[in-house]
Structure 1
Amino acid sequence: MDYKIAFGIKNNRSRQLFKRMPTGQADSQHESGRSELFAIFRSMISNNQIDTKNKLEKGMKFKISRFKEQIKRTKPHKHDDYYELILLSEGEGFHSIETEKFVVSPPECYFLKPGQLHFWEFTSIPKGFVVLFKEEEFDDLRESELKTIYRKLASSSRFSIPSGDFPEPILNELLHEYQRNTAYSHQIIHGLLAALFGKLLAFSDSQLPRQNTVPAIFERFRQLLPEETPRLHKVREFASLLNTSPQNLNAICRKQANRSASELISAQLLLEAKRYILHTDNTIAEIAELLSFSDASNFVKFFKKAEGKTPVQFRKQYFQ
């Protein structure tokens, strides 16, 4: 089964426009190029919402496939309630995750959490594997090591793999067992995943931040943030969902993240705002409504306080 990607536009003109125009060209040409770039980018996205993909069919908790070997620009999109592990052995281009843009430099691994927005801009044929899985895939395990390992891996969006150590044998075995789908494939896949995650953790150990044991209430708060932030803005609202007090939630957040619960909520709200500003053509008033602000002016004040510029200025600057 090939990894299906929702492709956007493909033409040389668009590729050229995504590069900065040479210094010295006439201002009118520069403005024209920027306008055309903006139009092309808008043609790649939904009119008023960000696409959410679900590549796991109903009832599926795991899937592995080879990365589609084509030079394509994908539309900005999010994934449903599953993790996506992308291991590239070849390819060149860029991979944007939220507002961070990575240069594709195989061999490397990308770890996408549920709800993260991303898209690809390849300039050469990519090769590799894509592993999709839901957290409940590991709920029936007696040991929690596998879940602990992938949570450590998920603390970083990208890490490199040492040259010559790309885990292709394990990935080929995983793909073979997934396609065979025998009575014992589930157990074999768990074993192979444990080997794969362990190997990746060994590769990434020096690149990932050290973490202490995370309290369950903070882990749940982090899960709720992307789910509830567009609707909820206040610490007391999240505290109520977690059956704790705002004071206790703030104390836990400060201990675990060096930031208050309010600061973490604002950071998530800002991330959601940037998604809509950069990856949809919604007006500022429409974005304010989508993010549950009382009016556009309050949204603009919130955004400017955080970014030092208005949403309109932020959108315009991104496409310069």
Structure 2
Amino acid sequence: MTQTSPITVKNKLESKEYFKISRFKPLIKKTKPHKHEGYFELIFIDKGEGFHCIETEKHQLKSPDFYFLKPGQMHFWQFTEIPVGYVMMFKEEFIDAVKEVKILQQLTQMGELTRIPTWGDSMVGKIFEDILAVYQNPTPNADDLIKGYLRVLFAKIADYTIESPQDSKEYPLCDRFLNLLSQQNPPLHRVADYADSLQTSPQNLNHACKKKTGKSASEHISNQLILEAKRNILHTDLNINQIADLLQFNDASYFVKFFKKHTGETPYQYRGRYFG
């Protein structure tokens, strides 16, 4: 039984590398669906045309365009014009949990945000430009400068978006669970398995999730399983039996019933809707 997803998992940061920024390569090409392992990605596109697909959503580029991708999210590009912009990657370890509490709070407050289209704030592009200059010409205080720019950037995002009044600091267990869930490949099926990994009880985990998100831990697990199923149905050549096996369902018939219960259609119907 295979346990590895055929969707590519990329890691563009070396084992001891925690931060990187670069300009977009001046190329027009379609990338393959892939995930990023263990790091966040901030993308600012100043010019360019085409599409950016994140999970099952297809976004038409509307420059200036901004994207925030979390570890484990799947995406790919379809450019029709040479892109101009920046790609910034950083691991959570880059942010000191003691000294940079504010940045970690800002990251959490960004919640489910993945995109700010036509972000016309003239400072945003300049922030990326300045961070690139610091990265390419490092000084002894380069990390502090970069983190200072990140604080400004995240504060601008907070000002731009309408945030939920939920207090994310009150339920850190839920945040840890959702982070673990997004990176578990394939996703585990039982709340108890995640509770064991997080050294808590299933009851505590469910309580934290309900208070923070309004959904139980089992609902989040089901949603993640459906998301992984859709990824593989749309972006691989695996048949339904192989996908059921990949996602550790006992048999394909149960997987089909599970998928239909949560989406209203079978995996075959879902694939047929896109490919006929």
Q: Tell me the TM-score normalised to structure 2 length.
A: 0.91
Amino acid at match of 2:226: L
Give the direction of change, closer, same or farther, for the CA distance of 1:196–1:227 in structure 2 (3 Å limit). closer
1:124 aligned partner: 81
Q: Distance in 1 between matches of 2:235 and 2:119?
A: 34
* Pairing 1:169–2:126 present: yes
Who wins on radius of gyration, i.e. which is larger?
1
Q: Distance in 2 between matches of 1:286 and 1:88?
A: 37
Q: Give the conservation status (yes or no) of the 8 Å contact 1:88–1:128.
A: yes
Q: Structure 1 residue aligned with 2:259, among 300, 303, 319?
A: 303
Q: CA deviation at 1:147?
A: 1.4
Q: Structure 2 residue aligned with 1:114, among 71, 81, 85?
A: 71
Secondary structure, in 3 states, of the residue corresponding to 1:110? Answer: strand
- Number of aligned residue pairs: 271
Q: Tell me the TM-score normalised to structure 1 length.
A: 0.79
* Pairing 1:265–2:226 present: no
Q: Structure 1 residue aligned with 2:54, among 97, 109, 113?
A: 97
Q: What does the per-residue CA deviation read over 1:135-171, in whole Å, with 9 as the maximum and x for residues that have no partner? A: 1101265141111112223530101354352522222
Q: Give the conservation status (yes or no) of the 8 Å contact 1:51–1:76.
A: yes
Q: Give the conservation status (yes or no) of the 8 Å contact 2:44–2:125.
A: no
Q: Distance in 1 between matches of 2:141 and 2:57?
A: 41
Amino acid at match of 2:142: S
2:188 aligned partner: 232
1:199 aligned partner: 156
Gaps of 5+ in 1: 1-47
RMSD value over aligned CA atoms?
1.9
Q: Distance in 2 between matches of 1:161 and 1:198?
A: 18
Give the direction of change, closer, same or farther, for the CA distance of 1:164–1:270 in structure 2 (3 Å limit). closer
Q: Distance in 2 between matches of 1:165 and 1:232?
A: 44
Q: Distance in 2 between matches of 1:69 and 1:280?
A: 28
* Pairing 1:276–2:232 present: yes
Give the direction of change, closer, same or farther, for the CA distance of 1:162–1:313 in structure 2 (3 Å limit). closer
Q: Give the conservation status (yes or no) of the 8 Å contact 1:90–1:107.
A: yes
Give the direction of change, closer, same or farther, for the CA distance of 1:240–1:178 in structure 2 (3 Å limit). same
Q: Give the conservation status (yes or no) of the 8 Å contact 1:229–1:269.
A: no
Q: CA deviation at 1:303?
A: 0.8
1:250 aligned partner: 206
Gaps of 5+ in 2: none
